[in-house]
Structure 1
């Protein structure tokens, strides 16, 4: 019975219960056995919800105050931690392309060849031409930037998943854009056009992959695709070339099936705007699973691989420090750190990059 002047409602604390579904539970229990026990349980549920709502609001306010790229990294880290590794999240890149890489930026007008070396490996990419449905041959640029890497990763992933060198792009492009969190927009400044530029550049280019050991050198003609079907976009305000079907060359397809580097698509989303970070991500994945003892990679070697566009060592090192820190924001267990002499790495389980244990990298 309530004390004098204090309603039973306040004694039981029913006024703390505000959510409609919890109020409904309260009324359903009213007048039944152990009603006061039920009230305390429902109040506890309400408090749990209130604490979660407060924490969610604090987190939302925190994210709202972050720059876009940092916010994306933070959200993706939470998703990866909550969901863990999963085979359906795997995407792939040919190990040579991941190690040597494409240009970070568009090359100057008239420059149609790009070369990058790493250790005793080299990649030369030469721009090619595509023939239009009208019979003309149109010069394409050397593929460049993050979109070229993401497109190439998408194509190689499709080939591995289907175990076929032949890919129907019309069936996979929208899924690809959605996968990486890009809106599917048209027009001159839309995402579709930007990706089409890199698609056509990749389809038209020629690649030469080389290796040497001081005694002999080997070069492989590695044109990525040996069949491409193109047509003009049907949009009246955007009569651009669009490729519908492609076939990997036998050599590239065979090499891809043997030497693919896996990566989690959520990581690609985290670094979708930076070609350098995508390169660093794939390279770290390759290195972590291929070394057996701790390794320090010198700044000189790192600059030869990731220093494109930097005139000074100090500027490159500062950028590298940021990039490594950003990788560790998403994958805090990565066993790498910058020292006075270079980047220190240790062998690690694939789980540090959210990769399933079976997704080990095939060695070259």
Structure 2
């Protein structure tokens, strides 16, 4: 008898069931052997691909595995997260700022954001100064909180369990300690929970400012051991302004793409920005290198260095989204309107065109 238990793929298992319609055992036997041969060939192909993937550097391997997933399974509803579109346009610092730097400003077009670092009283009664939120983990935390607020349909986000699961899902271990991933994520959560944000926009003969605390309340479990700091928060609550604004300006994105870019704050910013721009334009848009550097060039003193880095980062994003309609030129970047599938978003999400 052919070795049918080797058949694991759903489509081939269905073919096995359908093969039973043949009355003649010899005919059925031939078809079953053909199905088994297909499974063996697929297994060999997958094993060869796994060897190829294992030889890649970690970041490239993440991108390659994500693209393989999209090609084999496509985008799923469960892959969709949400991010505030204003935060997708105006980002946060890429590197850790000095603790004495208590304010960060960023401008893009007619919009600007000012982030003011905050402080609070610690478990022992002393004051703790938190930094301005920075780096990729601050963006991952924000993206998780925004996604959970939309999913839970509430400004209060229960995160005691979901946050640790999210950290694991992003590919990090859930270990604590001074240099553990959970500790780094907790630092950014605290920085976000205690900062204030001012969003400014200009129009002809008009300037509009809106200042708010993104997180209004955070409940913490405190350790009874005086030698330990507070444990993970059980919940955070967005301020009314933040939650109302998020509901109006929630931008869908693919969590798998963000996961593949999780090691770079700039790549995450570029991805969120591209997703927002191409998802919300009707016609071709050209953005100059000067405008790109104003938005993403923090830390670069020379234009040519920024251009080289930006081109490399765009290439990495294109590895994940090969259908994204964008083109780098000598003058900058040209963007075309993108349908959901081009950005690996399920088709049921219809973009708002402006």
Residues 261-299 of structure 1, C-alpha deviations (whole Å, 9 max, x = no match) = 111111111101111111111101110121111111111
Give the match for residue 353 of structure 1: 343
| Cα drift, residue 48 of structure 1 | 2.2
Match of 1:277 among 267, 279, 286: 267
Pairwise mapping of residues 1-364 of structure 1 onto structure 2 (< 5 A)? 19=3, 21=5, 37=27, 39-233=29-223, 238-240=228-230, 242-360=232-350
Q: 1:119 to 1:234 in 2, by over 3 A?
A: farther
| 8 Å contact kept, 1:233–1:242 | no
| Cα drift, residue 217 of structure 1 | 1.4
Q: 1:310 to 1:79 in 2, by over 3 A?
A: same
Residues 55-103 of structure 1, C-alpha deviations (whole Å, 9 max, x = no match) = 1222112112211111110111111222223222211111111110111
Q: Name the stretch that deviates more: 234-243 or 263-272.
A: 234-243
CA distance in 1 between counterparts of 2:280 and 2:339 reads 11
| 8 Å contact kept, 2:281–2:353 | no
1:359 match: secondary structure? coil
Q: Name the stretch that deviates more: 234-243 or 73-82.
A: 234-243
Q: Name the stretch that deviates more: 79-88 or 281-290.
A: 79-88
Q: 1:317 to 1:235 in 2, by over 3 A?
A: farther
Unpaired runs of 5+ in structure 2? 7-22
Q: Name the stretch that deviates more: 173-182 or 286-295.
A: 173-182
| 8 Å contact kept, 2:103–2:114 | yes
CA distance in 2 between counterparts of 1:244 and 1:21 reads 46
Residues 168-211 of structure 1, C-alpha deviations (whole Å, 9 max, x = no match) = 22132123123323221122221110100000000000111001
Q: Name the stretch that deviates more: 285-294 or 177-186.
A: 177-186
Unpaired runs of 5+ in structure 1? 1-13, 23-32
Give the match for residue 17 of structure 2: none
CA distance in 1 between counterparts of 2:352 and 2:226 reads 46
Q: 1:56 to 1:85 in 2, by over 3 A?
A: closer
| 8 Å contact kept, 2:4–2:36 | no
CA distance in 2 between counterparts of 1:236 and 1:192 reads 20
CA distance in 1 between counterparts of 2:41 and 2:192 reads 51
Q: 1:361 to 1:107 in 2, by over 3 A?
A: farther
CA distance in 1 between counterparts of 2:298 and 2:225 reads 37
| Cα drift, residue 240 of structure 1 | 4.7
| 8 Å contact kept, 1:130–1:200 | no
CA distance in 1 between counterparts of 2:111 and 2:246 reads 17
| 8 Å contact kept, 2:123–2:230 | no
What's the Cα RMSD here? 2.3
Q: 1:363 to 1:171 in 2, by over 3 A?
A: farther
CA distance in 1 between counterparts of 2:298 and 2:71 reads 33
CA distance in 2 between counterparts of 1:344 and 1:158 reads 33
Q: Name the stretch that deviates more: 337-346 or 222-231.
A: 222-231
| 8 Å contact kept, 1:102–1:145 | yes
Taking structure 1 as the reference length, the TM-score comes to 0.86
Q: Name the stretch that deviates more: 100-109 or 229-238.
A: 229-238
Q: 1:237 to 1:318 in 2, by over 3 A?
A: farther
| 8 Å contact kept, 2:279–2:352 | no
CA distance in 1 between counterparts of 2:72 and 2:4 reads 29
